[in-house]
Structure 1
């Protein structure tokens, strides 16, 4: 019995460490969209990665958008090779899209698509921390 409990605890620890090492976890700066950009904090959310808007900026500098605290990247599940699939929310039109993401070092490519992937919008994000 003790061995089973120890094995369960150990496997949870290893799973947590693996998720903490996820290359998408961190703070990323978006590209401007409709004149504004954001800092998005990506964190583990279950077996996926989710991103929440932390700060917003426009041509005048930092401002307090009503979107701060809202989830922009939704349930992006990793495939183990730095690519993810999930959903993306676009604040400028309040629509949720089929999302894909790829991380390579300090660069993140994000796309949101409609019509089964026929029409997509893409952004390149840069890691802040």
Structure 2
């Protein structure tokens, strides 16, 4: 009876590790207006607002961005993101460096893009 439980624990542990990425964690946006947790959510990755300083732009704590990202050969990620609050889809890339991220979201076939710098929260 112990062997099947141990085997199940090993399988679940390996699945959890496979879902984790080096972008997982809590990140601070460079404008000081957002604190976000990036973590697996099912087979996708979610960025969830933990704190928003100025909510006049419509952002609120609890808002999520659902990302489907694939790792590239250079270590960055690319894919798509969906903002359920605004019902918007866009392409996305994430460049990772030690303690920092740069996210780039694009709409209109990549004609309109915005880069945002993030630092790891301490």
Equivalent residue number for residue 39 of structure 1: 35
Partner of 1:30: 29
Where in structure 2 are there 5+ consecutive unaligned residues? none
1:78 to 67, 70, 79: 70
Q: Following TM superposition, by how much is the alpha carbon of 1:119 offset from its aligned partner in structure 2, in angstroms?
A: 1.6
Work out the CA distance in 1 between the residues paired with 2:97 and 2:19.
16
- Number of residue equivalences: 116
- What is the RMSD of the two structures over their aligned residues, measured on CA atoms? 3.1
Taking the aligned partners of 2:106 and 2:38, their CA distance within structure 1 comes to 20
Query: Can you give the 5+ residue segments of structure 1 that lack an aligned partner in the other structure?
Result: 59-64
TM-score, L = length of structure 2: 0.73
Residue 14 of structure 1 corresponds to 14
Question: Deviation string for 1:100-121 (max 9, x for gaps)?
Answer: 2222221111111111112211
1:69 to 62, 67, 71: 62
State how far apart, in whole Å, the 1-side matches of 2:76 and 2:18 are: 13
TM value normalised by structure 1: 0.69
